[in-house]
Chains A and B, each alone.
Chain A
Amino acid sequence: MSTMANDFSATRRLILKGAGVLTLIGLGIVPLDVTKVLAAANDKYPEEAFKAKSEADAIKALYGKTPEPSDKVKMDAPEIAENGAVVPISVTTTLADVTSISFLVSENPVALVASYKIPAGTLPNVANRIKMARTSNVVVVVEAGGKLYGVSKEVKVTVGGCGG
């Protein structure tokens, strides 16, 4: 085949690439934004909720509503945690149509610790290990059938897991 055609297409590609980059710069789009958009496309990470200091702000950022108390959510947490760096917390619920379960620690510098998406077919039972800066309420929020339910339990911490 002729090298002319190859040269032509290569040059053409370069020009197009250059033009594309220039357009991006012209619009003031920096590479950081591009990666953010890519991350958002893939089951997006709730960045804002994980920046919120207070538990109320985090829940609002995550769900846009406030939870109501429920006796159908059972949280298993220790009364006293000797090591705040590793506090085992688990939750089970008899609520139907659970879509999400989140764990928050009121007194942590960032209240939201973990948020789990529960698709249909996955059981609404989650166990994990979290850090606690000091004695605090641990809050578990369950989203079920479009409604929000919450339970809270105080866990006493003798050695903090977030302090310096």
Chain B
Amino acid sequence: MASTIRVRATSSGETTEVQALIQHPMDSGFVKDSKGEIIPPHFIQQLIFEHDGKNVFTADWGGGVSKDPYVKFAFKGAKKGDELKISWIDNKGATDTTTAKIQ
């Protein structure tokens, strides 16, 4: 199955900039469908970025994060060719994981 996670991690020497785009409905549980029925909450709760076995960024999300969420951050201590591991878990217990090479 194709991954739900798309990541671009680019190193500019000292810092590595990371951009991640994830496919997820991020239903807040407050929106009604066309029949007027509430769409139950379904959103990513935690998104974790690991480099070299160390947590470099953790996102705790609620239903207020936009559909197909996007996040950007930067960290120090990595170099080109290193691997970045990304994983998420949603409120229904579904998960996905991927690794990206830092460019």
Q: Is A56 an interface residue (CB 8 A)?
A: no
Return chain B residues, CB-CB under 8 Å to A45. 45-46, 60
Interface residues on B, range: 35 or more
- B50-64, CB < 8 A from A: 54-64
How many interface residues does A have (CB within 8 Å)?
36
Interface SS, B side: strand
Q: Contact residues of B with A, CB < 8 Å? A: 15, 26, 28, 30-32, 36, 38, 45-46, 48, 54-67, 69-77, 93
A43 pairs with B64, CB closer than 8 A: no
Residue interface mask A126-160, B partner, CB < 8 A = 1: 11111101000000000000000000000000000
A161 pairs with B62, CB closer than 8 A: no
Q: Which of A105, A118, A127 contacts B72 (CB 8 A)?
A: A127
Q: Is A113 an interface residue (CB 8 A)?
A: yes
Return chain A residues, CB-CB under 8 Å to B64. 105, 108, 110, 112-114, 130-131, 162
Q: Is A85 an interface residue (CB 8 A)?
A: yes
A86 — nearest CB in chain B belongs to which residue?
A: B66
Return chain B residues, CB-CB under 8 Å to A122. 56-57, 73-76
B20 — nearest CB in chain A belongs to which residue?
A: A128
